Structure 1
Amino acid sequence: MALWGRSGPVGGSPCRRTGEMERKILLETVGLECHFGGLRAVSNLDMRLERGKITALIGPNGAGKSTTINLLCGFVTPTAGRILLDGKDVTARPPHRLAKAGMVRTFQNGRLFSRMSVFENAQIGNSSRMAASVFDVVRRGLRWRTEEVNLRRRVRDLLDEFGLLADADRLVTELPYGKQRQVEMVRALAGSPDVLLLDEPAAGLNSVERENLALYLEELRGRGLTMLLVEHHMGLVMKVADHVVVLNFGSKIFEGTTEKTQKSSVVAEAYLGRRGIQHA
């Protein structure tokens, strides 16, 4: 399988949970709202992410998609409503606590550290999940050393999967844009998340890179990772999504399978015009 420029089997799982009783719905919003003055960016949003599935969140520009991701990962505080992660209320928790709880994100515009190497950027992804205390780090205790070795091994494995291992010591700014997007994905996966929030991961990618991205998202789903995909590229959405939620002016106007989404006159009129969905 081609993996963003590398061929070969993909090994290792990004998911933490094994063999325990699990809820079918891993992430849920109940009556979620976000107001900026008189503007309702998100209004009364009920949404469920089924464990091990890819849910796509689509809609026209300004529909509230990125605001929804910002609410879920703690970058913005909800005006009303609740966010439940694995049945626990995590509403308004700060981003670092949500990352520690297992929910991480990528960004529409990559936010990498320009003066750090590819490896260093990727390694940061697990910092919030480490159990070692500040005292362990200062005295370089056994727990810190064990976690550090395991993390470095995991990051190298992920870089290898993405065909980036040869670039590990290069400054991330020396890479072409498509590879920088891959580094951001590696950084998100380094923390072994339970939920991955993807904000337009195909933006700026060429057709080959988009195809390889689709294959990798399908591979991650096969490993049990739960994903929320915000994406304007309908070809990618229709290929990988199990369920689609459509926003318009901050409100949910439709949800269903990709097939039902393609046939919906409500979606065609509000989001794509009356022509319907065209695969790009």
Structure 2
Amino acid sequence: MLDTVITYLKSIDPIIAALYATLFTWFVTALGSSFVFFFKGYNKNLMDAMLGFTGGVMVAASVWSLLIPAINMSEGSGFTQVYPAVIGFLLGAGFLYSIDKVLPHLHVNFQKVEGVKTPWQKTTLMILAITLHNIPEGLAVGVLFGGVAAGIPEATIAGAATLALGIGLQNFPEGIAVSMPLRRMGLSRRKSFFYGQASAIVEPIAGVVGALAVTFFSPILPYALAFAAGAMIFVVVEEVIPEAQQNKSSDLATIGFIGGFIVMMSLDVALG
């Protein structure tokens, strides 16, 4: 089935393909959010394992789908070849760090509000936290499709589609992780679902923007790939791992991380 999808994506404009791929990642988030209609709560141990899985997928995707291609397509050798990846990675992590310090938000398992002081409600702050999380994911998929549109050999439809699949897999628990707490805060099931899925709507936007940027400025692709990787790694270290380790089931979160890393690494090597 994946081969059929890849064949179809090859037959259309890469920018449109980026839109479709990131709409898929948004849809999987919505699918996870829909669990609020069928369940009153969720098992914390299972959620910790799923959050760990999310972190593992994001780290593996950052290495195999983003950093390694960024290095391979850079000119020169030795330290010269790795400069674009280092610069892009630092810019991506720095960008998310800056937003994290300025944008008011509340993590799912945290009680402390981060960012500038605001009178906004906790529900709004938590939605902003997940939305912040999703920006680099959409960007990562988009820049790979943009590289295809720019005709860069190291960027392939198969690799971009595989990354979208991996991002989609880890978006499922994210949808659950935002809609269920919103329900516990007193929102209706419909509102909890609506805000849960809406937190991922930035992914198609970031995907198309990233694809267009690389198309018009193809030399920035190595920097753009590393930028997305730096942003994703920042999210994993700042948000995903701490949230997964909040409860007593830290071993499950660790096992989930290892599982997610193996799954994404295997998908990228086998299909990308």
TM-score, scaled relative to structure 2: 0.27
Larger Rg computed on CA atoms: 1
For normalisation by structure 1, the TM-score amounts to 0.27
Structure having the larger proportion of residues in helix = 2
More relative contact order, 1 or 2 (CA 8 Å, 6+ apart): 2
- Judging by fraction of residues, say which structure has more strand: 1
